[in-house]
Chain A
Amino acid sequence: MNYIFFFLIVISIVIGAINGKLQEVCNAVMSGAELSVKVAFSLIGIMAFWLGMMKIAQKSGMIDFLSKILKPVTKILFNEIPPQSPAVGDIAMNFTANAFGLSNAATPFGIKAMEELQKENKDKTSASNSMCLFLGMNTAGFQLIPTTVLAVLISIGYKNPTEIIAPTLLVTIIAFTFAVVLSKVLQRIWKGQTINSSLTDGENNRPGGEE
């Protein structure tokens, strides 16, 4: 992350200077900082609401039920976390919310899942294999119906907006599958976490726990 942060900012300033847009780049520092706090604050209410809902679903056993249904899949994908971990249920909720285009709900569920994955993580500053996989699943942006895009298409008078649903779904499935497979491949060849890496490696090599 240190290099990414460094290069993003250095490149911006150098290229901004070349393009004569240095003033815009400076303004972007201010507006970007302001925007990030706005984004975080707008998350507070939504986050509180869905974390509250999540608590009810957890106490009523609904999340346990959902994670039991999805267990065959999560057991293969997240083979490094114990099957009884609450993370499994949170991941299931996150995935379901994403699939139905409820990204406002998906984010709190996803953060909750990350917190549970962090409890199983051995090195608290470095992302575990499961965390990288979960992040990859989320960045691929799997959803059944792209609601925002459909809204824009309808607003411009697109005659048959639903015709883009099938291609979008196909593309998102390809990207999603690719992200999962690539995470699984990279976790074997990428340098492991510094602490207890031998243990994690041992778990990776367990039979029947891959793809």
Chain B
Amino acid sequence: MIKILNLISLWALPFLILLILFVGMIKKVPIYEEFTNGAKDGFKVAVNIIPYLVAIIVAISMLRASGAIEMLSDCIAPLLKSWNMPADVLPLTIVRSLSGSAALGVFSDIANSLGPDSYATKLAAVMVGSSETTFYVLAVYFGAVKISKIRYALLVGLLADLVGIISAVWVCNLMFG
């Protein structure tokens, strides 16, 4: 099982690249010209999103440095403890919507300090693996097209994160609890 999965994750990228190039050659597309033609936009897109990234990443870095995340997770701790959630996993519930690298950092900490057999490691793994960093996706995708009125987009992202946390706790309780 694990061998097959390793194989899939190893081959997903080369397979996609080969597939695109082969189909291109078969259809007689001038692949080199078209590649460079498309790649030209890479710089423009990346530079366009800088202002949006700065706004979001600075605000979130400030929030993390202020200790607000710890305060918030202390506030909701009693509620989450009643669901059999280990204290170590608490910060993850908030961090995973804000910063992908921070969430991975918290998860590595838990995994390394509590070890492979602990329930906290398993729950943290499921919580990190099933989520995407909502604020980052929002900044990059809407920044690229200069959208500033985001309407209900953030609400959907955060509520989906909440549903993800609840179902992660529920599923892990059933399977590993």
Contact = CB atoms under 8 A, between A and B. Distances in A.
Chains A and B belong together in one complex? yes
A146 B130 contact: yes
Contact of A51 (B12, B19, B38): B38
Contact of B141 (A9, A138, A175): A138
B60 interface: yes
Interface of A: 1-2, 4-5, 8-9, 11-13, 15-16, 19, 21, 24-25, 27-29, 31-33, 35-37, 39-41, 43-49, 51-62, 97, 100-102, 105, 107-108, 110-111, 114-115, 117-118, 123-127, 131-132, 134-136, 138-141, 143, 145-150, 152-153, 156-159, 161-172, 174-176, 178-179, 182-183, 186-187, 190-191, 193
Given A44-B43, A51-B41, A127-B151, A146 B163 contact: no
15 contacts: A1-B148, A16-B66, A28-B65, A32-B59, A47-B45, A49-B39, A52-B38, A61-B27, A62-B24, A124-B146, A139-B161, A145-B5, A145-B9, A153-B116, A190-B152
Interface residues of B, number: 98
B130 A175 contact: yes
Contacts, number: 347
A12 B68 contact: yes
B61 A152 contact: no
Contact of B159 (A110, A147, A182): A182
